[in-house]
Structure 1
Amino acid sequence: METAGKEEISVEDEAVDKNVFKDCSKIAFYRYIYRMNFQEWDYWVKVCICVLHICRRQKQQRSRKSIYQALLESVTTGKESTRFQVVNKATKVSLLAEIYGIEGNIFRLKINEETPLKPRYEVPDVLTNKPSTVRLVSGSGDTGSLILADGKGDLKCHITANPFKVDLVSEEEVVMSINSLGQLYFEHLQIPLKQRVTKENEEGASVDTSQENQEDLGLWEEKFGKFVDVKVNGPASVGLDFSLHGFEHLYGIPQHAESHQLKNTGNGDAYRLYNLDVYGYKIHDKMGIYGSVPYLLAHKPGRTLGIFWLNASETLVEVNTEPAAKYTLTQMGPVAAKQKVRSRTDVRWMSESGIIDVFLLTGPMPSDVFKQYSYLTGTQAMPPLFSLGYHQCRWNYENEQDVKAVDAGFDEHNIPYDVMWLDIEHTEGKRYFTWDKKRFPNPKRLQELLRSKKRKLVVISDPHIKVDPDYSVYTKAKGQGFFVKNHEGGDFEGVCWPGLSSYLDFTSPKVREWYSGLFAFSAYQGSTDILHIWNDMNEPSVFRGPELTMQKSAIHHGNWEHRELHNIYGFYQQMATAEGLIQRSKGKERPFVLTRSFFAGSQKYGAVWTGDNTAEWSYLKISIPMLLTLSITGISFCGADVGGFIGNPEAELLVRWYQAGAYQPFFRGHATMNTKRREPWLFGERHTQLIREAVKERYTLLPYWYSLFYRAHVAAEPVVRPLWTEFPNELETFGVEDEYMLGSALLVHPVTEPKATTVDVFLPGSNEVWYGSKTFAYWEGARTVKIPVALDTGSAMGEFYLDDGHSFQYLHQKQFLHRKFSFCSDVLMNSCADEKGHYPSKHVVEKIFILGLKKQPSAVTTHSPDGKDQPVAFTYCAKTSTLSLEKLSLNIGADWEVHIK
């Protein structure tokens, strides 16, 4: 939802005002981080004169030498890491570097102040467990270098002392270099200027004038509009560069309304990771919106790498790709030899505060990188089955009668759906965990109506709590000190939907525990076990704050400033909400929680959507690369509001959005309050029929969806996948973002242009055969066709997963069914994929369609383990090469074979 509205709170005009949000030129640490390494040239005098030109001038200095040197004589090797000092040659101040080898071909590099003025923030709670370390074996390299290798010896870290550089070597090839451009940057915490002046005056010492220059330049006090951000211990930004050798294709670092493949940055441009409430966000823009995952992947034929930058403060990422040059002339004695030059992509990470804590995922295949990242941050939570169906939402369904009418409309028009949603108007004056007594006088009665149709209800719960002494949630939280504080020590107060509000400090374990308890049936009056939760506005959104969010100087649990952990705030609310729903069921039922703000690891707690999109064709089109990027960075359960949240879609656009949404993981129709009603049956019978067919297609494939989510949960396989992950050696797939694989068996190409009758679909795989899902027509791969298609093959594999659809018994009692289907040499086999599972099922296979069969069989029989063969009636269509087997009754949980003769 929603920084919009025409009520007592109205920020719609502000939110779309370009001056509300910063571009890179207004981010102080980005402007000044380039000042590094200029101490040797009387830097501070120069910067006072040339501050407006510093970005451009510093970017021209990329080839300068690093000012950091590793002191290899300081190397110590412990049980977990190898430690050594890295010294700034200009200031003589040391940093402490640590390199870890982690199970599964992962390296971790940490760089921190050796003796900080006070502890610097290190992101907690994201890593699933303490990673199992692999002891690194050190060996001497050339003079002034050190080689660290894992036990296998096929991956090595080559550390060069002067200038400090780390090369990641695989099979004797350097695949990644760290600090090869000399852009390691680390601002040390400092004593405030006034305290320093007082101390130095008392001691008769001279004041450091460079500190005064920093004050003048806004490094200690950053101004933006009417807001002033005071940095108590001065600027504390960090940065580091990574060179990826042979790579031209990078992906990841959501969330941006941008292409799937990362673009080059330059001229003060960078990808921004800073969670913000951006109503009607601009597309094809690198501005940060609702969530941040500081993780990117680089891919080339034969190798995939990942870089996970574990930092929750405002972060900027620069990307610069230099394509391969065919030849360059290198003088070798009297002969000029031709030499091929590899492509390279340089990535520079910069964060406002914290430490450098980066994980290098070495692959080598995309599936390996997915597993390595999930080992660190967790896999996608196994969703309850109902949540994979269609969801109906609006800001707001007016009252109980309105909800009943919409619910009945789906039945009347024969359109399946599983979940009804209620936005903020269902509460009493935007007080969460309450019900408006006039609009929803009997919420349990409404839920029982939905339950009778096996449907669920989702209601909203935001992090802001109305300042109201008569509101029990507020008074209890205030009494226990559970709100975020302002820098003066009082409760932070900002304006959001209820008016003046305080914000729960979800970074505190005690606050999360208390908040989780609010979902208990005894605490949340009117709730039942079919009620699930939607966390919105949790960037956090503060209507009259800087960039519509919380001041960076606000104070959280542990006395940490908000600047340190801004991007992880929403992550903590979703964590607490999911835990609350699990506790509510005494650990028996899986929760469903949707969040707008997210961070690395949010996949462990539920689903994510792309926020306040607009009812325009361009937003439908951009939703595909946005969801692909979320998927490859661990968040499989993602979707975009069907129809567009803002505005009124024309009928054709709405139909096309339903058709696209049916093949996206989270499938919800949603609209803002000032739009026309758009329930699926309000656009004429022809369009109603098309929407009905799209929604029914979703339900037809629900067993497949559920099996894909099981694989995402247990094996970190993305549910929707860009083509390059399934065809990692085919260059033609690397830039494709208008189509994708749904699992490994279906290729999806949504229609995203008006009045389109055909679409050009690229079919990868020179050895693949592709079949139309409705016509059964087939094409060979490595070509483009003008017909939407689905995937099947002459020799095929597939899986089917089944459990009760809602509980955790699949974990505790192994009550699940996991079957494997294989078709080879004219035999279709159903066998057990996991012997640990035991789940009695009455489900049977009634029909089987086999595509691509070149000739009509003479007979078809089923074969069971007891040796009994039964003939099967069949029909064969030579035009489509399709064999149809019907009137079967084959138990899905039993072993059997179908033989074609």
Structure 2
Amino acid sequence: MILNTELEYKGNLFPSNITKYSKDVDVLHFSTSNNVILKLTVLRDSVLRFTYTTVGKFERDFSYAIDEDASRGYNHLEITDDEEKYVVTTSKLICHIHKSDLRISLYDAADNKIICEDELGFHWEESYELGGDIVKMSKAAQNGESYYGLGDKPEHLNLKGRRFENWATDSYAFGKHTDPIYKAIPFYTGLHNGKSYGIFFDNTFRTYFDFCSERRNVTSFWAQGGEMNYYFIYGPKMQDVVKNYTDLTGTPELPPLWALGYHQCKWSYYPESNVKEITAKFRELQIPCDAIYLDIDYMEGFRCFTWSKDYFPDPKRMVKELADDGFKTVVIIDPGIKIDNEYSVFREGLEKDYFCKRADGPYMKGKVWPGECYFPDFTRPEVREWWAGLFKELIEDIGVKGVWNDMNEPAVMDVPGKTFPPDVRHDYDGNPCSHNKAHNIYGMQMARATYHGLKRYNYPKRPFVITRSAYSGTQRYTSTWMGDNVATWEHLQIANIQAQRLALSGFSFAGSDIGGFAEQPNGELYARWIQLGVFHPFCRTHSSGDHGEQEPWAFDTEITDVVRKFIEIRYQLLPYLYTAFYQYSQDNVPMLKSLVLFDQDDVQTHYRIDEFIFGNQILVCPINEPNAKGRRMYIPRGEWFNYWNKEQVSGGKEMWVDADLDSMPIFVKAGAIIPKYPIQQYVGEKVIEELGLDVYYKNGKEDSELYEDADDGYDYTKGRYSLKKFNLAGSEDKLIIRIHKRGQYVTTYNTFKVNLYGLPFEVKSIKVDNEYVDLADVKFENNSLVISKEFTNLQIKG
């Protein structure tokens, strides 16, 4: 649908000259002689919104993506004009709007250098086939520009030279270049000449993005309907672009800590005896696990909100017994409601007229797991409220702790497009529309309704929801996984790229089906996948089960031992991971950072795909090939310590790293203070009596954080949390650590085991809170010391 190079203007219409300009506080209107209006809204000094209409008036302003708590306000706004252009200036940006054709150019206010400029700019094509306009935007690509983002596309991390479609699609066993797949996240970042910006095209129709694929120097995006409506977000640091986009579309509240533990899933664990056998084996083999999942077979004939009496005769008792053994139960819920007058959920939905209808009146009927189904219209507030209420029995009565929304693209079987026909009608929160507009947000609104149900009935505990389909902003309600992948080495690499790309796109709480959903991994592939998966915010093994077993013990004892070892590392790092989640939730900081996000000024990072930063200070690089004893990887600039042998390396170069099957390349940033808990079989198994602090020496300064609260519930919102900020300063013969604490939460421990790595001197004296201590008193040996009180200042001298 994009312009052909030889037919550049054929069939495309363009704005003409500006005839009128008006300003209302932070909203500017520019009208042209051919009835096009550009509405420019200044949200922040670095965030501008551009909306165009071709019919002289705008649609009602409504978006599911934008968070109602998104930041607003700017320090400076000035508008001037000359013969050629209007100039809008904030403290961060200068925007030129050309009077002859509405084209936009954006400059950095600090140095007046170009950031992004329209090529043809806004144009449109009248489509009689679609019965409306195809709205288009083309931007000139700058020299050496790279592009990132767009959610979970299974492609190279750098999008340059590629073209994509956003249309949520059930993509069983998708491949490396499959497009589209499950999610539609129309946000990308551009990077050139040390400057990064983002564009969020908030249009829920089928959208397309072309990054210099058709025309070498042009990036474009377009939609098969709706308005040209996009947000321009300036950095110049990419991390600030991602943070500002995430602020715009929102972050989740903190999850319960158990949701960050290891989860086990399969299609399907049933009957009850099989579930108990699996959970007992975890405890017997001492492999930590916090959650067990029940796929569609737990239901009566795949009817949502029911239980199979044959397989699970007393679910409440079973769920309680699992909980007593430290397992949270998570169940699947799909959108399709079986057409069955004996089935109360169907009957109630029918009586209240809650199901989606075709344009001429009848209900939308589609086949999914239960057979013929109707589908709730989750874009109606009263339907979401009803759906939320359906969780009362599952959550409040039976005690289920998490819900997994699948098939919500929405997926329909045995039809060519695998989804609803376009003439299905939706309420869209009082903005009635066809499925063309509502398709990409259907799964998001289902997940939203599910989240509110869990929040209501699990209170005072926190909800946990996982969704397959998503649009921008879905991260406010749920976690996600990347869908039905395959047990291949290529998919291990794809999973890594998808997790990084989702984090770059505001959606950090994500992970893959460890080991692959389709087909069967061998033990080596499963072990290597676990090694990657424990460094993803959401960590779950899931398989289709019809190829064999995929539990940690399904291979041989060597593999089982490797899997246990890495899951134990995850449980030790839970306070570090939870702190990263806090920084994501509160400050919009992505929990995983691609190397380009970590250090965009190093051009070497712009095309790196395997290495990533977990949290802020741990560098991880999975092994992607069979029979590998190590790999070459890029170490970012700065000083790093090998996690295993504590050897220090200087970054800014590629190097070989040894990694036998029981190891993988992991490095820790010099100066980092990494908090560690003792290994537990599940979150809450032990009262934490001692906190480990792994201190990595640096000749210089480095800051670290540790966030803790009660691990669940909402007391943290009332100030009952603990946030420790560690300031480390090292020199040739001294190391000083200062701790600043805020919050009213009292931790269960007041003993600290401080492990010092990389000290260039032999320790001669230690001061705790400005008092010298006898080295025997702090049990000082092998550069470790135990301090049995809360302290605010630690000085180690050579």
TM-score of the two chains, using structure 1 as the length reference: 0.80
Whether 1:111 aligns to 2:52 is yes
Indicate the residue corresponding to 2:123 in structure 1: 184
Per-residue CA deviations over 1:559-615 (Å, capped at 9, x if unaligned) read 3101012111111111111111111134x3221100000010111112111100000
Give distance in 2, aligned partners of 1:565 and 1:852: 56
Indicate the residue corresponding to 1:549 in structure 2: 419
- Please list, as runs of the form range in 1=range in 2, the aligned pairs for 1:66-215 lying within 5 A after superposition: 68-87=14-33, 93-115=34-56, 119=59, 122-124=62-64, 126-129=66-69, 132=72, 134=74, 137=77, 139-150=79-90, 152=91, 154-171=92-109, 173-182=112-121, 184-185=123-124, 187=126
Deviation (angstroms), 1:647: 0.5
Indicate the residue corresponding to 1:841 in structure 2: 747
Q: Aligned to 2:145, which of 234, 240, 248?
A: 248
Whether 1:667 aligns to 2:539 is yes
Give distance in 2, aligned partners of 1:469 and 1:405: 36
Indicate the residue corresponding to 1:309 in structure 2: 201
Whether 1:677 aligns to 2:582 is no
One-letter amino acid matched to 1:157: C
What are structure 2's unaligned runs of at least 5 residues? Answer: 658-664, 671-697
Give distance in 2, aligned partners of 1:443 and 1:691: 30
Per-residue CA deviations over 1:606-640 (Å, capped at 9, x if unaligned) read 21111000001000011111111100110010101
Question: Any conservation in 2 of the 1:860–1:874 contact (CA below 8 Å)?
Answer: no
Q: Aligned to 1:572, which of 445, 448, 456?
A: 445
Per-residue CA deviations over 1:722-750 (Å, capped at 9, x if unaligned) read 01112121001111111101122110001
TM-score of the two chains, using structure 2 as the length reference: 0.90
Give distance in 1, aligned partners of 2:610 and 2:116: 33
One-letter amino acid matched to 2:120: L
Deviation (angstroms), 1:374: 2.1
Indicate the residue corresponding to 1:447 in structure 2: 319
Distance change in 2, residues 1:186/1:119 (3 Å) = farther
Q: Aligned to 1:822, which of 719, 727, 730?
A: 727
Indicate the residue corresponding to 2:186 in structure 1: 294
Give distance in 2, aligned partners of 1:236 and 1:546: 25
Q: Aligned to 2:642, which of 762, 772, 779?
A: 772
Deviation (angstroms), 1:119: 4.9
Deviation (angstroms), 1:70: 4.8
Indicate the residue corresponding to 1:223 in structure 2: none
Indicate the residue corresponding to 1:25 in structure 2: none
Q: Which shows bigger deviation, 352-361 or 377-386?
A: 377-386
Deviation (angstroms), 1:828: 3.9
For the aligned residue pairs, the C-alpha RMSD in angstroms reads 2.5
Give distance in 2, aligned partners of 1:703 and 1:871: 28
Higher Cα Rg, which structure: 1
Deviation (angstroms), 1:702: 0.9
Give distance in 1, aligned partners of 2:114 and 2:12: 20
Give distance in 1, aligned partners of 2:190 and 2:352: 47
Q: How many residues align?
A: 755
One-letter amino acid matched to 1:789: I
Give distance in 2, aligned partners of 1:312 and 1:294: 9
Whether 1:871 aligns to 2:743 is no
The 3-state SS of whatever aligns with 2:120 is coil
Question: Any conservation in 2 of the 1:382–1:710 contact (CA below 8 Å)?
Answer: yes
Question: Any conservation in 2 of the 1:66–1:183 contact (CA below 8 Å)?
Answer: no
Q: Aligned to 2:705, which of 790, 796, 799?
A: 799
Q: Aligned to 1:593, which of 459, 465, 470?
A: 465
Question: Any conservation in 1 of the 2:87–2:95 contact (CA below 8 Å)?
Answer: yes
Give distance in 1, aligned partners of 2:408 and 2:533: 24
Question: Any conservation in 2 of the 1:281–1:612 contact (CA below 8 Å)?
Answer: yes
Give distance in 2, aligned partners of 1:504 and 1:298: 38
Deviation (angstroms), 1:686: 1.2
Whether 1:648 aligns to 2:505 is no
Question: Any conservation in 2 of the 1:80–1:134 contact (CA below 8 Å)?
Answer: no
Question: Any conservation in 1 of the 2:779–2:786 contact (CA below 8 Å)?
Answer: no
Indicate the residue corresponding to 1:283 in structure 2: 176
Whether 1:763 aligns to 2:660 is no
Whether 1:852 aligns to 2:758 is yes
Give distance in 1, aligned partners of 2:605 and 2:622: 17
The 3-state SS of whatever aligns with 1:474 is helix
Distance change in 2, residues 1:887/1:136 (3 Å) = closer
Give distance in 1, aligned partners of 2:596 and 2:423: 43
Distance change in 2, residues 1:398/1:483 (3 Å) = same
Q: Which shows bigger deviation, 167-176 or 773-782?
A: 167-176
Deviation (angstroms), 1:74: 0.8
Indicate the residue corresponding to 2:567 in structure 1: 695
Per-residue CA deviations over 1:78-130 (Å, capped at 9, x if unaligned) read 1231112235xxxxx422210011124101000123347x9588534533347
Whether 1:352 aligns to 2:224 is yes
Give distance in 2, aligned partners of 1:625 and 1:291: 15
Give distance in 2, aligned partners of 1:653 and 1:129: 43
One-letter amino acid matched to 1:540: P
Give distance in 1, aligned partners of 2:467 and 2:196: 30
Distance change in 2, residues 1:490/1:178 (3 Å) = farther
The 3-state SS of whatever aligns with 1:565 is helix
Give distance in 2, aligned partners of 1:624 and 1:679: 21
Indicate the residue corresponding to 1:831 in structure 2: 739
Indicate the residue corresponding to 1:888 in structure 2: 787
Distance change in 2, residues 1:814/1:620 (3 Å) = same
Identity, % of aligned positions: 28
Give distance in 1, aligned partners of 2:251 and 2:166: 22
Deviation (angstroms), 1:139: 4.1
Give distance in 2, aligned partners of 1:828 and 1:706: 25
Give distance in 2, aligned partners of 1:577 and 1:673: 26
Q: Aligned to 1:607, which of 479, 501, 520?
A: 479
Indicate the residue corresponding to 1:210 in structure 2: none
Deviation (angstroms), 1:148: 1.4
Distance change in 2, residues 1:738/1:619 (3 Å) = same
One-letter amino acid matched to 1:264: G
One-letter amino acid matched to 1:857: V
Indicate the residue corresponding to 1:260 in structure 2: 157
Deviation (angstroms), 1:314: 0.6
Question: Any conservation in 2 of the 1:816–1:839 contact (CA below 8 Å)?
Answer: yes
Per-residue CA deviations over 1:416-445 (Å, capped at 9, x if unaligned) read 000000000000111111110110011111
Deviation (angstroms), 1:413: 0.8
Per-residue CA deviations over 1:798-836 (Å, capped at 9, x if unaligned) read 11110011112211x111000012221333425225x3x
One-letter amino acid matched to 2:35: S
Deviation (angstroms), 1:694: 1.2
